[in-house]
Chain A
Amino acid sequence: MFKAILYTQWKWSRVVVALSVVIAFALPIMSVQRAGITEPSRWEVRELLRTIEMWSVWYAVFAAGLGLLIATTAWAQDHRGRHVYALSLPIPRWQYAMLRFAAGSLLLAAPVVALWIGALLATAMAQIPPGLNAYPNALALRFALAAFLAYSIFFAISAGTTRTAAYVLAVIGALVVTQVMLQASGMYGGLVEALFDRVITWPGPLEIFTGRWMLIDV
């Protein structure tokens, strides 16, 4: 049963998975292309760190985008058929959802492993200036956690009904409207910022996205 579900999900998201494997492998290698300086000056080291830092943003964006795409493709075909087929199968709904979740997770593992290998290769090939260290394992672990987290968030939203998605959007919309009204009335307008802070700082769900995504760092 799992094999059959995995096969369908592979068929639906194989382009995304294949592309993301390539990107995941290339990203660390491209980010350290300036690291081949054997005797760098202080300015070159800083430039290197700045470059690595600039690239680090893309790891987070990539993890979030990948999670979104794999999660939505897992449910897209069922949404299109209004879930009639899925619901006529002799399997509890929670089990069906978990099988789809597990299949998506397995597919997500491919770009994660690709990024890990890419990071290991990139740091092994680059001559890292003295004083700096490579963190391929930490970066791959952070990417894995962030990608799986994004995947699980979007999967949960996709697994819901249209009404659930509407509720999520309505809550976000209400927050923005409240913020605008508070600001217009001259009252404290940091509601959205305060909530956002709670979400991105420990123990908020998105904290993993806000750490240091550095492949090479001091």
Chain B
Amino acid sequence: MSNVIETRNLRYRAGRNFEIRELSLNVPAGSIYGFLGPNGSGKTTTIALLMGQLRASQGSIKVLGQSMPEAAPRILARTGFVPERPHLYPTLTVEEVLRYHASFYQSWDWRRADELFGRFELDRSLKIAALSKGETGKLMMLLALAQNPDLLVLDEPTDGLDPVVRRAMIIAVLDYVSQRDAAVFISSHLVHELERICDWVGVMDNGKLVTEMPMQTFKSGIKRLRVTGAPALVEDPPFVLLSRDTGETLGAGEVWVVRGWQTPMQQYFEGIGASLREVVDLDLEEGFVELLRTFRTPRAQG
């Protein structure tokens, strides 16, 4: 099995103004796949489709090698899911939720649950309704990890949490992955967070998958260049010109953002009579922003 999640030409319409279109995702086995996208781009809807809670109008979904939703119970038995919003029964206590949840999973690991309890410092006697946002997040992560899943699907799991809790949760996920060699599909708009842990990245915008590639490729391919003496119109560059800030001041040069940069491409500038002064690596967030800007206004390539 090369991919734990595989969708082909998925289509789903949610209301009048939003549609998931031709979504073809590939989440490799054993990877930590960061699913990026601005708010409202369709990340949560895509996850609901993957978890069999929404019915796609077109296309196919395979999770852990089985078709969703036909094999939903078998897939869900091997998948740990942390939804975007808390969904646990608010009138039950933490202990009751734990027992309730455990009864549905044959692979439930009480030892891991107890260990995570200690690490997360949760009070078993508290009612779900009385838990803080951070405690609720930790409990949901605990439930997902203690069921020993082959795949973790986490929908903005750390959104709105303080850095300490975020860190504790991320460490728990990484620990688990290192022990079980499980795949993680994690959506977030907190790009910095994903940058550190993900080895694959997929970017959604307005219901479409913009790009999907290894994190290293994504990060290294996007550069900010400082260029002087470039002509107004550049033709057939060997890279993708994402943006060009032409406001040259005091001889500092123009700022170009490019994708697919490789060092031998420096010679291109000599060919057009320009001079490359500086090549700056962009972090994931800057790359993400530039990528979305290009996607929304393709003509920026100039």
Q: Which of A's residues lie within 8 Å of B, judged by CB?
A: 1, 3-5, 7-8, 11-12, 77, 80-85, 87-92
Q: Please name all residues of chain B whose beta carbon is closer than 8 Å to the beta carbon of A88 when the two chains form the complex.
A: 51, 53, 76, 81, 83, 87
Task: Indicate the member of A5, A12, A81 with the most B CB atoms within 10 Å.
Answer: A81
Pick from A4, A7, A12, A85: contact of B87, CB under 8 Å: A85
Does residue B229 face the partner (Cβ distance < 8 Å to A)? no
What class of interface size applies to chain B in its complex with A?
20 to 34
A89 touching B91 by the CB < 8 A rule? no
Q: Taking the nearest CB of chain A, how far is it from the CB of B170, in angstroms? A: 22
Does residue B234 face the partner (Cβ distance < 8 Å to A)? no
Question: Contacts A11-B92, A12-B91, A92-B73 hold; do A3 and B105 have CB atoms under 8 A apart?
Answer: no
User: Can you list 10 pairs linking A and B with CB atoms under 8 Å apart?
Assistant: A4-B104, A7-B99, A7-B100, A8-B92, A85-B88, A87-B53, A90-B72, A90-B77, A90-B105, A91-B104
Task: Indicate the member of A5, A77, A84 with the most B CB atoms within 10 Å.
Answer: A84
Q: Taking the nearest CB of chain A, how far is it from the CB of B91, in angstroms? A: 6
A4 touching B99 by the CB < 8 A rule? yes
Q: Please name all residues of chain B whose beta carbon is closer than 8 Å to the beta carbon of A8 when the two chains form the complex.
A: 89, 92, 96, 100
Does residue B167 face the partner (Cβ distance < 8 Å to A)? no
Is chain B's interface secondary structure helix, strand, loop, or mixed overall? loop
Distance between Cα atoms of A134 and B194 in the complex (Å): 74
Question: Contacts A87-B53, A90-B73, A92-B73 hold; do A81 and B103 have CB atoms under 8 A apart?
Answer: no
Question: Contacts A1-B103, A3-B103, A90-B74 hold; do A77 and B83 have CB atoms under 8 A apart?
Answer: no
Question: Contacts A1-B104, A90-B74 hold; do A85 and B96 have CB atoms under 8 A apart?
Answer: no
Q: Taking the nearest CB of chain A, how far is it from the CB of B159, in angstroms? A: 16
Does residue B52 face the partner (Cβ distance < 8 Å to A)? yes
Distance between Cα atoms of A116 and B51 in the complex (Å): 46
Tally of A-B Cβ pairs under 8 angstroms: 58
Distance between Cα atoms of A81 and B96 in the complex (Å): 17
A90 touching B87 by the CB < 8 A rule? no
Pick from A80, A84, A91: contact of B83, CB under 8 Å: A84
Q: Please name all residues of chain B whose beta carbon is closer than 8 Å to the beta carbon of A84 when the two chains form the complex.
A: 53, 83, 85, 87
B76 touching A90 by the CB < 8 A rule? yes
Distance between Cα atoms of A24 and B162 in the complex (Å): 52
Q: Taking the nearest CB of chain B, how far is it from the CB of A39, in angstroms? A: 55
Q: Please name all residues of chain B whose beta carbon is closer than 8 Å to the beta carbon of A80 when the two chains form the complex.
A: 90
Interface residues of B in 3-21 (CB under 8 A from A): none
Pick from A11, A87, A90, A91: contact of B91, CB under 8 Å: A11
B83 touching A7 by the CB < 8 A rule? no
Q: Please name all residues of chain B whose beta carbon is closer than 8 Å to the beta carbon of A90 when the two chains form the complex.
A: 72-77, 104-105
14 extra A-B contacts, CB within 8 A, seeds A84-B53, A90-B77, A91-B73: A7-B96, A11-B91, A11-B92, A11-B96, A77-B90, A81-B87, A83-B53, A84-B83, A87-B52, A87-B53, A88-B83, A88-B87, A89-B76, A90-B75
Interface string of B196-220 (1 = CB under 8 A from A): 0000000000000000000000000
A85 touching B73 by the CB < 8 A rule? no
A77 touching B87 by the CB < 8 A rule? no
Q: Please name all residues of chain B whose beta carbon is closer than 8 Å to the beta carbon of A89 when the two chains form the complex.
A: 76, 104
Q: Please name all residues of chain A whose beta carbon is closer than 8 Å to the beta carbon of B85 when the two chains form the complex.
A: 84
10 smallest A-B Cβ distances: which pairs?
A90-B77, A4-B103, A90-B76, A85-B87, A84-B87, A81-B87, A4-B100, A77-B89, A90-B73, A88-B81
Question: Contacts A88-B51, A90-B76, A91-B73 hold; do A81 and B99 have CB atoms under 8 A apart?
Answer: no
Interface string of B100-122 (1 = CB under 8 A from A): 10011100000000000000000
Q: Please name all residues of chain A whose beta carbon is closer than 8 Å to the beta carbon of B96 when the two chains form the complex.
A: 7-8, 11
Q: Please name all residues of chain A whose beta carbon is closer than 8 Å to the beta carbon of B76 when the two chains form the complex.
A: 88-90
Distance between Cα atoms of A71 and B53 in the complex (Å): 23
Distance between Cα atoms of A3 and B85 in the complex (Å): 27
Distance between Cα atoms of A124 and B51 in the complex (Å): 58
Q: Please name all residues of chain A whose beta carbon is closer than 8 Å to the beta carbon of B51 when the two chains form the complex.
A: 87-88
Question: Contacts A3-B103, A4-B103 hold; do A85 and B89 have CB atoms under 8 A apart?
Answer: yes
Distance between Cα atoms of A175 and B100 in the complex (Å): 43
Distance between Cα atoms of A3 and B96 in the complex (Å): 12
Q: Please name all residues of chain A whose beta carbon is closer than 8 Å to the beta carbon of B89 when the two chains form the complex.
A: 8, 77, 81, 85
Distance between Cα atoms of A4 and B51 in the complex (Å): 23
Residue in B closest to A12 when the chains form the complex, CB atoms: B91
Distance between Cα atoms of A85 and B88 in the complex (Å): 6
A77 touching B91 by the CB < 8 A rule? yes
Q: Please name all residues of chain B whose beta carbon is closer than 8 Å to the beta carbon of A12 when the two chains form the complex.
A: 91
Distance between Cα atoms of A87 and B69 in the complex (Å): 11
Distance between Cα atoms of A11 and B93 in the complex (Å): 11
Residue in B closest to A82 when the chains form the complex, CB atoms: B87
Residue in B closest to A87 when the chains form the complex, CB atoms: B53
